[in-house]
Amino acid sequence: MLIEGRQHRSIWYEAETDQVCIIDQTRLPHDFAIRTLRTLEDACEAIGAMRVRGAPLIGVTAAFGVYLALRENPASLDTAIRQLRATRPTAVNLRWALDRAARELSERTRSDAAGKALEFALALAEEDAACCEAIGEHGGEVLRRLWQEQCGRDRPLQVLTHCNAGALATVDWGTALAAIYKVADAGVPLHVWVDETRPRNQGGALTCWELRQAGIDHSLIVDSAAGHVMARGLVDVCVTGSDRVSASGDVCNKIGTYQVALAARDNNLPFYAALPVSTIDFGWPSAAEPIPIEEREPEEVSLTSGIETGGSETQVRQYPGETVVRNYAFDVTPARLVNGIITEHGVFEAERESLAALAGAQLSPSGP
């Protein structure tokens, strides 16, 4: 991704100093801060505190966390995997990356464990960037076709997105936003409606920041305005990312996605989810089976943070401490509301037979 004219990734390794670096996303949009992860505990903290977030990026950070653990103690593979796995429960990419790390590293002798773990993490990061670029190509084509059909080429395509499924949520490119970046690069004029995404405001804080860096026209709306802009005829298509897709095409994503999909269906608008195949959980048969839905601290809802006009950070209490808050972080959109699943291998119907073709692709270590 381009930040102030310079190419950046969300996570990277600096070989000269043997350091793993991340963009600290809790500082955005007011401050662009880079943070160094030195230990397994640093990696776990970064995922848990959402300095890095987004399903694919969590997986890649976990792989680097395994390296940091083995660098310190080559015998710590099992402990590292256990600690990293416990950081966040919903995005299946975390489990997928750690299962792969376990397979790659369990046969290694202790003397080469750290080196192999680093090789694995670097390969996974490259694979993620390549997958996301391919998702962008396929998703961009979906958007380009919609622009031709819906807008007659004479007005901008109106896209609505929820949360942040951009380069910040992956190593580079993103998933839903990758499609937007690719179609914009192809010269299609577009405008993006960005849902704020309470309570952590990944839309307002991260998606708007990314789109501004990329020079893409966008407007921020509160989550409850999504149905209104659709009903007013101001949206052509909705595209989001996902944290876990069932074998039947149900889409688990940031809380509020289900309401976006419902409003889209009521307004005859297509709703797409864009994701790497690593986000499909073939062990989750359908939405009828519950999956772990993260519930975060009530303070994310009852306190609000920002910067004062003078520039200093501040937190204010919106609701009294005794207000009971349930802070669900994800919901599940049933497959019947999903018009297509955009992956690095193309666009698939949100149903079992169509997605089954991807089960083999998930096992392949080489990405798209």
Q: What residues are annotated to the active site?
A: 243
From the list 40, 230, 247, 329, which residue makes contact with ligand MRU (rule: CB under 6 A)?
Answer: 329
Residue 211 interacts with ligand MRU (CB under 6 A): yes or no: no
The secondary structure element, H or E, covering residue 299 is helix 299-302
The residue among 54 and 340 lying less far from ligand MRU, judged by its C-beta, is: 54
Cα separation, 115 vs 285, whole angstroms: 37
Residue 91 interacts with ligand MRU (CB under 6 A): yes or no: yes
Supply the minimum distance, in Å, between the C-beta of residue 242 and ligand MRU.
6
Cα separation, 341 vs 324, whole angstroms: 36
The number of angstroms, rounded, from the C-alpha of 290 to the middle of its chain's C-alpha atoms is 21
Asked if residues 140 and 344 have their Cβ atoms less than 8 Å apart, the reply is no
Q: How many residues bind ligand MRU (CB under 6 A)?
A: 19
Which residues have a Cβ under 8 Å from the Cβ of 142 and sit 6 or more positions away?
Answer: 179, 237, 272, 340, 342, 347
Q: Which residue has the tokens 């993103």?
A: 174
Q: Which stretch binds ligand MRU (CB under 6 A): 48-56, 285-293, 303-311, 336-344?
A: 48-56
Give the pairing type, strands 251-254 and 303-307: unpaired
First to last CA, the chain: 20
Cα separation, 297 vs 25, whole angstroms: 18
Residue 340 interacts with ligand MRU (CB under 6 A): yes or no: no
Binding mask 248-277 for ligand MRU (x = CB under 6 A): -----xx-----------------------
The residue among 71 and 254 lying less far from ligand MRU, judged by its C-beta, is: 254
Using alpha carbons, list the distances in angstroms from residue 70 to 34, 38, 112, 127, 330: 23, 12, 10, 22, 32
Cα separation, 207 vs 143, whole angstroms: 18
The residue among 50 and 118 lying less far from ligand MRU, judged by its C-beta, is: 50
Binding mask 101-120 for ligand MRU (x = CB under 6 A): --------------------
From the list 242, 246, 333, 343, which residue makes contact with ligand MRU (rule: CB under 6 A)?
Answer: 242
- On the CB side of 141, CA atoms within 13 Å amount to 12
From the list 59, 140, 241, 340, which residue makes contact with ligand MRU (rule: CB under 6 A)?
Answer: 241
Supply the minimum distance, in Å, between the C-beta of residue 47 and ligand MRU.
9
Supply the minimum distance, in Å, between the C-beta of residue 168 and ligand MRU.
9
Supply the minimum distance, in Å, between the C-beta of residue 310 and ligand MRU.
29
Asked if residues 151 and 157 have their Cβ atoms less than 8 Å apart, the reply is yes
Binding mask 155-184 for ligand MRU (x = CB under 6 A): --------x-x---xx---xx---------
The residue number with the shortest CB distance to ligand MRU is 241
Q: By CB under 6 A, name the binding residues for ligand MRU.
A: 53-56, 91, 163, 165, 169-170, 174-175, 202, 240-243, 253-254, 329
